Amino acid sequence: MRVNITHLSTLAAHNRLQADLLRLTKTKVDDDGRADISLIPLHVGIASRFSTIRETVARVLEDLACKGLIVSEKNAFIINYLGSLQEMVEEVRGD
């Protein structure tokens, strides 16, 4: 999986993870604005891609779950409100 170098150098770890979740859902959006990400890597694998630690990944995913934006299933993430996640990423990027 490719990681945007600009994101690694300009965004905080939680914002990099949010941006990557958004990138992974680009082609998998249903009519209700929900998307799923199948075959997700372990937290440690995600952390190594973003030069952070596993605990940060767990904290970001838990925060998104508490906000109702993401549901973690056994082998997938379900993004409930893709538009909200996109707004969070655009706000940080300045888009």
The string of DSSP letters for 1-28 reads ----HHHHHHS-HHHHHHHHHHHHTTT-
Cβ(68)–Cβ(80) below 8 Å: yes
Residue 44, Cβ density class (10 Å: 0-12 exposed, 13-18 middle, ≥19 buried): exposed
> Residues 61-82: what's their mean pLDDT?
88
Given this model, what pLDDT does residue 1 score? 38
Query: Greater confidence, 63 or 50?
Result: 63
> Does pLDDT of 89 surpass 70?
yes
Q: Whole-prediction pTM value?
A: 0.73
Q: Please check the confidence at residue 5 and state whether its pLDDT lies above 80.
A: no
- Domain coverage including residue 18: 5-93
**Residues 7-56: pLDDT tens digits?**
445 577 778 888 888 877 766 678 777 888 887 777 888 888 777 888 98
End-to-end CA distance of the chain: 24
The tokens of 16 are what?
């990099």
Number of domains observed in the structure of the chain: 1
Q: Can you give the CATH number for the domain in which 16 is found?
A: 1.10.10.10
Is pLDDT of 6 > 60? no
